Structure 1
């Protein structure tokens, strides 16, 4: 292929990308002209992560109905819409709420495990986790050629999910009860479906971190620490 044709294709792809980013209502077939193979993969991972988070929200509210009842007007579906918008929308609602004192991201996660917090712990936890994960995707749900992600942010978000899980399973009130109930064990094994859900989420983020690192030819700085040192990592 001649240099002229190569430059023309590159310029055309960039132009299409810039156009469709500003026109989210364009038909999907047209928007796809501005995507690389990695963009399609990223779209799938981001969409799957959103679906996993919606499932997590439902499961936590089923296990913690008392948290939902702290807001008499709330239902599971209304909470999901507040946090995620419509299931198929690529538009993400802002995650700043008065009932959480305006905190979000990691601060909202920490609030959900604060023994003095009297509000909806599930809502605080999901808002915080969702915002933290969104930051690792630059608050996007669809990606094009000019978009770029940070492999370190994706890696750190995977570790933060693991830290969140540890806190979820271990943080208890003064009476020894979990601050937020999750897995339920009994003589027959019980329900450990939360483990499977969190494992899927960690795998999604770790895989995306590897894909982006391979694409950009950059390395990931890995962290090693014990459970006693679990501190949430920053999302660059």
Structure 2
């Protein structure tokens, strides 16, 4: 009854801007730990953020999607397939993760820079997760790799905002700060990706640390928890 009351209290929060939603149950979850689910959900959220960023960048830089597709929607569909593929993206000449980021942010890159940038960001994140997008009991992630990926996202964002092409123009139009307009939605969405990576790195580190502490606590407490003879 107390548990039901607690749940009722949680559900009474106002939801004028929408209610939090959980994923539908799938049989694969039976082979996942809580840490696996958190990691996989963060990965899925980062994928959604990258696709949203791609849409925003294509809207501000329509010349980019015209290099690879007839419409923006088609370019986005092609990009999503590229994000889900385990194969290197051909326009990046076989480069992966940070090497792909360097190429995508090179002033000399002539292809669809929006797609190249998003694919490279996604590949960097997947690589930091051990090259996996789904996680099960025996899977683990290195918290330092996640932390490094967050820093790489910060660097990539800074380079994108500051580097210019040979004509002195930004590589891609993203954030806009001016007397008549102010749009930082790109920065905010990128901040969500960085925040998720940092939070997951901290959670993973704490999880491993607490597992070790729990083991030591068990050794120390074992003599105290031994049953005493009663006859």
Query: For this structure pair, what is the TM-score category when the shorter chain's length is used for normalisation?
Result: 0.7 to 0.9
**TM-score normalised by L of structure 2:** 0.73
- TM-superposed deviation, 1:103: 2.0
Task: Report 1:165-180 matches (<5 A).
Answer: 165-180=157-172
Supply the distance in 1 between the matched residues of 2:104 and 2:28 (Cα, whole angstroms): 39
Unmatched 5+ stretches in structure 1:
1-26, 219-236
Q: Give the aligned partner of residue 119 of structure 2.
A: 127
Q: Give the aligned partner of residue 161 of structure 1.
A: 153
Supply the distance in 2 between the matched residues of 1:133 and 1:81 (Cα, whole angstroms): 20
Q: Give the aligned partner of residue 107 of structure 1.
A: 99
Check 1:95–1:84 CA distance in 2 against 1; reply closer, same or farther (3 A cut).
Answer: farther
Larger Rg: 2
Give the total of aligned pairs: 187
Task: Report 1:24-103 matches (<5 A).
Answer: 28-71=25-68, 73-85=69-81, 92-103=84-95
Q: Give the aligned CA root-mean-square deviation in angstroms.
A: 2.3
Deviations 1:92-128 (A, max 9, x none): 3124233222223222221222222221111211111
Is the contact between residue 104 and residue 127 of structure 1 (CA under 8 Å) also seen in structure 2?
Answer: no
- TM-superposed deviation, 1:28: 4.7
- TM-superposed deviation, 1:189: 4.2
Which secondary structure state, in structure 1, belongs to the residue aligned with residue 84 of structure 2? coil
- TM-superposed deviation, 1:160: 0.4
Check 1:99–1:85 CA distance in 2 against 1; reply closer, same or farther (3 A cut).
Answer: closer
Alignment match of 1:196 (pick from 180, 188, 199): 188
Deviations 1:107-154 (A, max 9, x none): 222122222222111121111111001111223232211110010110
Check 1:76–1:106 CA distance in 2 against 1; reply closer, same or farther (3 A cut).
Answer: farther
Check 1:75–1:101 CA distance in 2 against 1; reply closer, same or farther (3 A cut).
Answer: farther
Supply the distance in 1 between the matched residues of 2:125 and 2:76 (Cα, whole angstroms): 16
Check 1:95–1:165 CA distance in 2 against 1; reply closer, same or farther (3 A cut).
Answer: farther
Is the contact between residue 92 and residue 104 of structure 2 (CA under 8 Å) also seen in structure 1?
Answer: no
Supply the distance in 2 between the matched residues of 1:146 and 1:82 (Cα, whole angstroms): 33
1:215 is aligned to 2:207: yes
Check 1:169–1:134 CA distance in 2 against 1; reply closer, same or farther (3 A cut).
Answer: same
Q: Which moved more, 1:202-211 or 1:38-47?
A: 38-47
Which secondary structure state, in structure 2, belongs to the residue aligned with residue 80 of structure 1? helix
Deviations 1:150-195 (A, max 9, x none): 1011000000010001001000123321011101122144211111
**TM-score normalised by L of structure 1:** 0.72
Which secondary structure state, in structure 2, belongs to the residue aligned with residue 173 of structure 1? coil
